[in-house]
């Protein structure tokens, strides 16, 4: 979830997926577009339940998210995120390299990673990526790279990324991570690489305060290879404090970057 499918969530993973120019042909799973018969959501539409869950999550102020993306033909990425308001921390590992992304309350994003990470997340040229690997690189909100980095690292951008688009349907109740949930299925959210009718589902706890518990996305690329993302959300409301790292260098000081 980097260019956060998830999250995009997260933000870098999404950027990578957008580059794959995915197109989807799958349909949403069977379910009811009306209202579930069982409480606590009886009489409510999928959009109403989705709004309840989003409001409840944002009211908590933070969430812990573990996300796995699989981009067929490209590779896999594992993300662990502590997303707060307005700061957060995200650690990624996989085909995009090993990355740590921090977003501070001062609206500055910091990236530290290996050369592969710097090439994929900041478009740093190979020679410079090797030179600056392992160092904190500061990216101000005025940079064109900033929005992609913070996507999925703050709680508001994370919730936007996991929200499916209309038309919405309820899926059958099930259990995830020991919690009774109901899914809301729809099209891809705003950070996904296409707006075609692929499956994106957000699973919401049926116990108050009705928080999101998990997220899945299934799509098919133009190459015919799958593109999937799944995430588990927990630890709502825990403190997320992100101090500014010492000895960072501005992205603009690296040759070949803007």
User: Over the stretch 100-157, which tens digit does the pLDDT of each residue have?
Assistant: 999 998 899 999 999 999 998 899 999 999 999 999 999 999 998 898 899 899 999 9
User: Over the stretch 47-103, which tens digit does the pLDDT of each residue have?
Assistant: 999 999 999 999 999 999 999 999 887 789 999 999 999 899 999 999 889 999 999
Question: Contact at 8 Å (CB) between 94 and 16?
Answer: no
Give the pLDDT band (50/70/90) at residue 32: low
3-class secondary structure per residue, 173-203: CEEECCEEEEEEEEECCCCCCCCCCCEEEEE
Per-residue model confidence (pLDDT) at position 8: 32
Per-residue model confidence (pLDDT) at position 136: 98
Per-residue model confidence (pLDDT) at position 111: 97
**Share of residues in the chain with pLDDT > 70 (%):** 81
Residue at token pair 């573990």: 66
Query: What is the biggest distance separating any 2 CA atoms in the chain, rounded to whole angstroms?
Result: 60
- Domain 4-253 top-level CATH class: mainly beta
> Which ranges of the chain would DSSP assign to H, the alpha helix?
12-18, 46-60, 115-122, 126-132, 146-150, 155-162
Question: Contact at 8 Å (CB) between 82 and 241?
Answer: no
Instruction: Please report, for the chain, the start and end positions of each structural domain, with discontinuous segments joined by +.
Output: 4-253
């Amino acid at each position: 979830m980097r260019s956060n499918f998830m999250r995009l969530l997260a933000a870098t993973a999404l950027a990578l997926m957008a580059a794959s120019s995915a197109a989807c042909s799958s349909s949403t799973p069977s379910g009811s577009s009306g209202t579930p018969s069982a409480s606590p959501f009886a009489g409510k539409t999928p959009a109403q339940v989705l709004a309840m869950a989003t409001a409840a999550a944002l009211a908590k102020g933070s969430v812990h998210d573990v996300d796995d993306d699989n981009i067929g033909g490209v590779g896999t990425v594992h993300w662990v995120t502590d997303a707060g308001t307005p700061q957060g921390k995200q650690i990624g590992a996989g085909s995009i390299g090993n990355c740590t992304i921090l977003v501070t309350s001062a609206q500055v994003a910091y990236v530290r990673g290996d050369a592969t990470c710097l090439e994929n997340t900041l478009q740093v040229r190979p020679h410079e990526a090797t030179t600056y690997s392992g160092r904190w690189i500061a990216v101000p909100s005025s940079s064109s790279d900033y929005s992609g980095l913070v996507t999925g690292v703050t709680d508001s951008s994370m919730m936007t990324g996991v929200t499916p688009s209309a038309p919405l349907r309820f899926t059958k109740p099930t259990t995830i991570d020991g919690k009774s949930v109901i899914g809301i299925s729809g099209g891809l959210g705003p950070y996904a690489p296409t707006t075609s009718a692929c499956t994106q589902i957000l699973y919401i706890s049926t116990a108050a305060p009705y928080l999101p518990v998990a997220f899945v996305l299934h799509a098919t690329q133009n190459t015919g290879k799958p593109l999937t993302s799944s995430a588990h959300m927990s630890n709502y409301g825990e403190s997320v404090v992100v101090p500014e790292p010492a000895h960072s260098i501005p992205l603009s000081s690296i040759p070949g970057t803007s």
